[in-house]
Amino acid sequence: MNRNGIGVLPLCGAEPPRGIELPVKPPRSARFVARLDMYLQFPCNERSDTYRLSKNRKRSHWILWMGYFDDNMEMKWVYMPYALLACGDTDAAAAARVMLEAAWLEEKRVGSLDTTFEAVVADGLLTVDELREIAARVWPKEGGASCS
């Protein structure tokens, strides 16, 4: 929860709540959070995620975007809203940390992301150490990422 007591809503591609309008894609002003290589325990088992952070037009909510390279059809980066958080007085880095953790926990809960990231390809708003700390909370037995 942010300081105003409003929790993170992991979207993982789902529609936002009624009344909250999100852009179709991240604006050019979206801040780069990190790019991670992930390993999945099922076919097509590699995933490279890019995370960006922006606000909606009303500037009332932070949006964490997750992007992936669509090499099957369009050969371009495709982004989807990954998590949502009411802005309150939460700064960008804190918003990115709490939203990424909530979204990873949700993906872990539904079984689509069962292990931590393989490598940090590039850090940005969040450092390698911060990403490892988040991963260690989501996947405590794995102890965070093995590579950087």
> What's this model's pTM, rounded to 2 decimal places?
0.84
| Beta carbons of 118 and 135 less than 8 angstroms apart | no
DSSP string, 49-114: EEEEEEE-TTS-EEEEEEEEEETTTT-EEEEEEEEEEE-TT--HHHHHHHHHHHHHHHHHHHTS--
- The string of pLDDT tens digits covering residues 75-88 is 788 899 999 999 88
Number of H helices, E strands in the chain: 2, 6
Structural domain includes residue 144: no
Domains: count for the chain: 1
Domain-located, residue 146: no
What are 119-148's pLDDT values in tens digits? Answer: 899 999 999 999 999 999 999 975 445 444
Biggest CA-to-CA distance, the chain: 42
**Cα separation of 105 and 90, whole Å?**
20
| 105 inside domain | yes
147 is a domain residue: no
pLDDT digits (tens, 9 = 90+) for 31-47: 999 999 886 655 566 77
Contact between 38 and 114 (Cβ < 8 Å):
no
Supply the range of the domain harboring residue 123. Answer: 9-138
Does residue 50 belong to any structural domain of this protein? Answer: yes
Indicate whether 49 pLDDT > 80: yes
Half-sphere exposure in the Cβ direction for 120 (13 Å, CA): 20
Distance CA 124, CA 112 (A): 25
In a domain, 145, yes or no: no
Give CA–CA dist 51/3, Å, rounded. Answer: 23
Give the gyration radius of the chain's Cα atoms: 15
Domain assignment present for 71: yes
Confidence of residue 1 (pLDDT cuts 50, 70, 90): very low
